[in-house]
Amino acid sequence: MSGSEERSTARVPTGVSGLDEMLGGGFPQGHVVLVAGLPGTGKTCLALGFLMAGIARGESGLFLSLEEEVPALLASARGFGWPADAAVEKKQLTVLRLDPKETKGNLHRIQSDLPKEIAGLGVRRIAVDSVSLLNMLSDDEPGRRATLFSLAAACRGSGATTLLTAEADPLHPGVSRDGLTEYVSDGVILLGYNQGSDGHKVGLSLRVLKMRRTAHLRSVQPYVIGPKGIEVDARAVDFGL
Ligand SMILES: Nc1ncnc2c1ncn2[C@@H]1O[C@H](COP(=O)(O)OP(=O)(O)O)[C@@H](O)[C@H]1O
Ligand SMILES: [Mg+2]
């Protein structure tokens, strides 16, 4: 990639300054970025923080929640000091809850109505939490692929920048459980636990596996889930996990 191409890519700050530093300013605008990790690694927190960072800059956001109920999400945001309740009231933030139990209705909605709904909202940022549950709506591989591809196309087509979360495969935590989402994504960020020498989990670390149309740090950087959300230490020396 030429330097001029890289410079011309508009950036969308992620809400995590250390991650922005790793990416040269943020996600390239319009990207669909997968954030994969085991439970408790902060995927929902990162997704919420990404939307709230947009709202702070006047960019409206859509949170598609397949896992958590709306009140629980708003309570999490409150816990990090993010004014999500006010953003919902002012229609800067839309939270859509898709209950994975309502399989048929949801599949129809995702494949036919959602692109129109997303376009109608005119949002600049979208978070989908999580595509792993989305994949459970279909009981075969072609169905899963069709649902995921149509959702990704709807997000991309809206011109928004999108963050998709996915459960990592517990046996191979370097890839998403479905192994599919990587292919519809322009970027992949992996959140993981560090193993101490005694095999116990100690601390958390992040790495950017891929990010189209930009150079990025490839090393593994430590992060914490602090009182204001995720904080990545982009300056720590790679500890090679
Ligand atoms: N207000 C908070 N302050 C600090 N840490 C928090 C706070 N809320 C949640 N956490 C941490 O975040 C973790 C869950 O993050 P979450 O985004 O739900 O992970 P995931 O979606 O990957 O399962 C909790 O286990 C806890 O360690
Ligand atoms: Mg979660």
Q: What is the pLDDT of residue 1?
A: 44
Reported as a single tens digit per residue, the pLDDT across 147-181 is 899 999 999 999 999 999 999 988 887 777 778 88
Reported as a single tens digit per residue, the pLDDT across 3-53 is 444 556 899 999 999 999 999 999 999 999 999 999 999 999 999 999 999
Other Cβ atoms less than 10 A from the Cβ of 223: the count is 22
Q: What is the pLDDT of residue 2?
A: 46
Q: What is the pLDDT of residue 9?
A: 85
Q: Residues 75, 159, 76, CA angle at the centre, nearest 5°?
A: 5
Q: What is the pLDDT of residue 13?
A: 98
**Amino acid at site 236:** A
- The model scores a pTM over 0.85: yes
Can you list the domains of the chain with their CATH numbers? 3-232 (3.40.50.300)
Mutate to test the pocket of ligand 1, among 69, 225, 228, 230 (most ligand atoms within 8 A of CB): 225
Token pair of 174 as six digits: 């370097």
Comparing 135 with 207, the larger pLDDT belongs to 207
37 lines ligand 1 (CB under 6 A): yes
